[in-house]
Structure 1
Amino acid sequence: MIRKLLATGSVLAAMAATPAAAADISACLITKTDTNPFFVKMKEGATAKAEELGIELKSFAGRVDGDHETQVAAIETCIADGAKGILLTAADTSSIVPAVKQARDNGLLVIALDTPLDPIDAADATFATDNFKAGELIGQWAAATLGDKAADAKIAMLDIAISQPTVGVLRDQGFLQGFGI
């Protein structure tokens, strides 16, 4: 998580080379929710860095996990407000792409955080965990921990969203491969 918070600060710093150059620069942070502790910390880190650089940071979040429509509305607001860039943790990695394209077409720098967009090149850059590798490592650990009992293990996959964001799919598939399935 620390690396992601640092990456968020680095992205804000890239939007303004120096604090003096940051005057009149605004950026947007759009997270999946404002209740998940991970996104709360991300917002705190981004807010602190924006203040340090003199960037006006506008924050938006979905009402609930998977709230794609609120994120699209936030992107449209950022475009209308003249923001220079958007830091985005997409609730729906493919449905958000037309709004991201609109932002980029209007000259905004769009950086995907935590969750790569689908396709990944829809954003200007991505700072995210390799979720397949994370799942694979967890699967390897689980198999090693169970030892001989791994052959008889019953595995259930529980995902938070019906739409199966790529994070969940990649973690699931990585886990299964790491577990040896």
Structure 2
Amino acid sequence: MFARALGIVLTGLALVATGCSAEREWGGNAAPDGGTAKIGLVTKTDTNPYFVGLRSAAEAAAAAKNAEFIALAGQFDGDNDGQVRAIENFIQQGVSTIMITPNSSTGVIDALARARQAGILVIALDTTTEPTEAADATFATDNFEAGRLQGAYAKAALGDRAPAVLMIDGTAGSSVSSLRHAGFLAGMGLAEGAPQIRGTTNANGDQNLAQQGAENLLARSSDINAAYTMNEPTARGVHAALQARGLGEQVVMASIDGGCEGVAAIKSGQIRATVMQFPAKMAQLGVDAAVEHARTGTKPGGFHDTGSVVITDEPMPGIPSQPVAWGEQHCWGEK
């Protein structure tokens, strides 16, 4: 799995180096002048450790390329208005590239269209836009596949037990949340609305909301043996709710992110596994494309999967994985 993920990343780098789509459009202020790239990054929040890590990686990559770098964020997961204001701010500042992790795949489309009309290259990181063509290129995890891996792991870990599942989702309308949710069900072999799903709630990727949501669902039905969590802060909240009811040992819970805290949560027994993403690779690919665009006018294009790897010290047959020790060395691709 790691070799596959690394191959995907290297392929993405090669595509960026050759201009990906080999398209050159020099209208507006996108005309190449060999000057310094001015990159604006808009993340979903500036508090979630995942986006903090992505921002840090992008800032470091930009510094290494002598590119100007500015970062703004929404105030909370789902703050589309805040992201639109950030995009408008960057248009006024005359950036050459906007990189964005959109809160809603549709909520920022009009603002991104205005940016592109102004000649600004738009790169989506982590989250695809809808339609995908609203961004020039996307560097992200295949979120359906990440969810499928989580579900397949949980199904294997349950063994002969019939699944009874709680699902703690992200933000309503988010493509990341929807894709991971659908992927998890595919990995578990369950249909949407199946009776094995004991309850579902949104938690906006927030630990406290996840704990509250899980507590509410457990008050209705505590006969569960598996929990889907959209990301690792969600998993921490669900773990607290399960522990309060003495259910921590019987419930199989995996997650998605692969941050250093998430890897530590496996080691401490809070979760069985996590699906590691590589936001540092997303940031590096985005910055490389932005710098090349400023230098030559070459635009990247299409979707580039930056890979995902299951991390666990309880490997399951048929589920390729890496151990916690490997995860500690590679969390989020930052080490």
Same structural fold, with TM-score higher than 0.5 when normalized by the shorter chain: yes
Give the 3 Å change call, closer, same or farther, for CA 22–36 of structure 1 in structure 2. farther
In 2: Cα distance, 1:71 partner to 1:22 partner: 27
Q: Secondary structure at the match of 1:148?
A: coil
Q: Secondary structure at the match of 1:45?
A: helix
Equivalent residue for 1:176, pick from 185, 203, 212: 185
**In the alignment, what sits opposite 1:74?**
86
Tell me which of the two structures has the higher relative contact order, counting C-alpha pairs closer than 8 angstroms and 6 or more residues apart. Answer: 2
In 1: Cα distance, 2:168 partner to 2:173 partner: 10
Which runs of no fewer than 5 residues in structure 2 stay unpaired? 20-32, 191-335
Q: Secondary structure at the match of 1:158?
A: strand
- Deviation (angstroms), 1:51: 1.7
Task: Write out the 4+ residue segments of structure 1 that deviate beyond 3 Å after TM superposition.
Answer: 5-8, 20-23
In 2: Cα distance, 1:136 partner to 1:147 partner: 17
Alignment map for 1:152-171 (pairs within 5 Å): 153-161=163-171, 163-171=172-180
Aligned amino acid, residue 108 of structure 1: I
Equivalent residue for 1:57, pick from 39, 47, 69: 69
1:105-131 CA-partner distances (Å, limit 9, x unpaired): 111000000000011111000011111
- The yes-or-no answer on 1:108 pairing with 2:117 is no
1:29-78 CA-partner distances (Å, limit 9, x unpaired): 00001111111111111111222222211100011111111100111111
In 2: Cα distance, 1:27 partner to 1:78 partner: 9
- Deviation (angstroms), 1:22: 4.0
Equivalent residue for 1:94, pick from 106, 130, 133: 106
Give the 3 Å change call, closer, same or farther, for CA 87–126 of structure 1 in structure 2. same
Equivalent residue for 1:83, pick from 70, 80, 95: 95
In 1: Cα distance, 2:35 partner to 2:165 partner: 51
Q: Secondary structure at the match of 1:69?
A: helix
In 2: Cα distance, 1:86 partner to 1:135 partner: 28
Q: Secondary structure at the match of 2:130?
A: coil
Alignment map for 1:132-143 (pairs within 5 Å): 132-143=144-155
Q: Secondary structure at the match of 1:137?
A: helix
- Deviation (angstroms), 1:21: 3.5
Which runs of no fewer than 5 residues in structure 1 stay unpaired? 15-19
**In the alignment, what sits opposite 1:39?**
51
In 1: Cα distance, 2:34 partner to 2:60 partner: 17
| Maintained 8 Å contact 1:140/1:175 | yes
| Maintained 8 Å contact 1:22/1:54 | no
- The yes-or-no answer on 1:30 pairing with 2:46 is no
In 2: Cα distance, 1:51 partner to 1:77 partner: 21
- The yes-or-no answer on 1:48 pairing with 2:60 is yes
Bigger Rg, structure 1 or 2: 2
Provide the aligned length of Structure 1 versus Structure 2: 167
- Deviation (angstroms), 1:147: 1.0
Give TM-score scaled by structure 1 length: 0.84
> RMSD of the alignment, in Å?
2.4
